[in-house]
Amino acid sequence: MNPRNSPHHEPDPGPQRAAIDRYVKLVQSGEMNAYTEIVRHFEAPIRGFCTHILNDPAAGEDAAQETFLKAYRTIRSFRGESSFSSWLFRIARNTCIDILRKQKRESTKAQRHSLYEEGRSEGSASQRLEAQEQLSLLLQALSPVHREILLLREYHHMNYDEISSVLQCSIDAVKGRLKRARQEAQEYLRHLHENENVVQREETL
Amino acid sequence: MIHPDSDTLEKFFDRELSDEQNVSVERHVAICSECRDFLVGSQMTRTLLESSPLPTQSESFVHSVMEKVRDSEHQRFAFQIRNFFEQWGFQAGGLAFAALLICLSLFRSDSLTATDEMLTYRQVELEALDSFESQFTLSTVLGVYSDSEDSL
């Protein structure tokens, strides 16, 4: 899957997947240089995923590097039961979860909460947020579980099978979790827009 | 008004319904603001997420990862060697020590045999010398005696 090749990030299995499978087999047989092509192919989506999950470009880049390193170390255990893409996203997801747990221990939770509250209720001109800022706030506001499933579905356009493979849960669980994630996101965005409208009205008065 | 259940709406949004079901939901959504709001909200989330561009491809990232991969390979190799020595080092050391002892004992027994042979040879020599000396002394004595007889 390479979302870069499509304006709507559509999954692109087909020949690219065959090429990736070939590179994977080469790496498994000891051809370290073939891994360069794998990294080149998945670099942007994995970096994007980690950046969005962690909501921090620097931490996202570190997590992506860690993901590729872990994937290289364990690539011999990849049996091709799921797609390599799903397998890689699973590693990225686990790496991000570890980082989030570490961050939680270092009590960044308070900061996250304050940003969420800021997004919800602060009545200033800065509330008219650009899409990027809105997205950043939305990702901050969502719980990690909902954040990851929304990203996999809406940003990386994975189907339910792929998501269940990445998250290692049943398709029914994916559907249920996705539904709750959408509800949480909608609720948050509604609050954000309501606040924005209030500010606009105050400014026009 | 009977609303489609939330699962059906989700499937409609994800385009997972059959054509027939799709038409039915479309008709309902056209007249139901509640369901339409749900779909508009879901679309807003999707649009917002899609609005974020993927990071631009970076060769420096690829190089950085490959650098780490190579380092990891070197470390793995060093670890394997260290592990090998930790696992087999004592046995190999013990075997080498035993081999050394065997070599030393073999060498020692060889040199002892050689010394024994040399001692035996020396003994034969000495015995020969002794017998020669005694013969010489006897012949000398006898010679002196015959000389004195002659002079008489």
Q: Given an 8 Å threshold on Cβ–Cβ distance, is B55 in contact with A47?
A: yes
What is the pLDDT at residue B123? Answer: 79
Low-confidence ranges of chain A (pLDDT < 70): 1-15, 107-130, 196-205
In chain A, residues with a C-beta closer than 8 Å to the C-beta of B70 are: 32
**A201: contact with B, CB 8 A cutoff:** no
Q: Given an 8 Å threshold on Cβ–Cβ distance, is A189 in contact with B55?
A: no
What is the pLDDT at residue A126? Answer: 47
Q: What is the DSSP letter of A142?
A: S
Residue of B nearest to A45 (CA): B54
Helix (H, G, I), strand (E, B) or coil at A108: coil
What is the pLDDT at residue B16? Answer: 84
What is the pLDDT at residue A122? Answer: 45
DSSP tally for chain B: helices H, then strands E: 4, 0
What is the pLDDT at residue B53? Answer: 79
In chain A, residues with a C-beta closer than 8 Å to the C-beta of B55 are: 43-44, 47-48, 51, 57
**pLDDT at B149 > cutoff 60:** no
Q: Which residues contact A20 (CB under 8 A, 6 or more apart)?
A: A38, A41, A84, A85
**B60: contact with A, CB 8 A cutoff:** no
In chain B, residues with a C-beta closer than 8 Å to the C-beta of A8 are: 50
In chain B, residues with a C-beta closer than 8 Å to the C-beta of A134 are: 48
Q: Given an 8 Å threshold on Cβ–Cβ distance, is B66 in contact with A151?
A: no
Q: Which residues contact A180 (CB under 8 A, 6 or more apart)?
A: A146
Residue of B nearest to A33 (CA): B66
**pLDDT at B137 > cutoff 70:** no
What is the pLDDT at residue A204? Answer: 63
Per cent of chain B over pLDDT 90 is 18
Cα–Cα distance measured from residue B146 to residue B87, given in angstroms and rounded to the nearest whole number? 89
In chain A, residues with a C-beta closer than 8 Å to the C-beta of B6 are: 179
Helix (H, G, I), strand (E, B) or coil at B7: helix
What is the pLDDT at residue A87? Answer: 94
Cα–Cα distance measured from residue B131 to residue B125, given in angstroms and rounded to the nearest whole number? 10
What is the pLDDT at residue A3? Answer: 42
In A123-152, the residues whose Cβ lies within 8 Å of chain B are 131-132, 134-135, 138, 150-151
Q: Given an 8 Å threshold on Cβ–Cβ distance, is A8 in contact with B50?
A: yes
ipTM of this predicted structure: 0.71
Cα–Cα distance measured from residue A136 to residue A119, given in angstroms and rounded to the nearest whole number? 10
Whether the model clears a pTM of 0.80, i.e. scores above it, the answer is no
Q: What sign results for the dihedral spanned by CA atoms A74, A79, A83, A86?
A: negative
Q: Given an 8 Å threshold on Cβ–Cβ distance, is B66 in contact with A185?
A: no
In A49-88, the residues whose Cβ lies within 8 Å of chain B are 51-52, 57, 61, 64-65, 68-69, 72-73
Report pLDDT digits (tens) over B9-52: 888 988 888 999 999 999 999 999 888 888 888 888 888 888 87
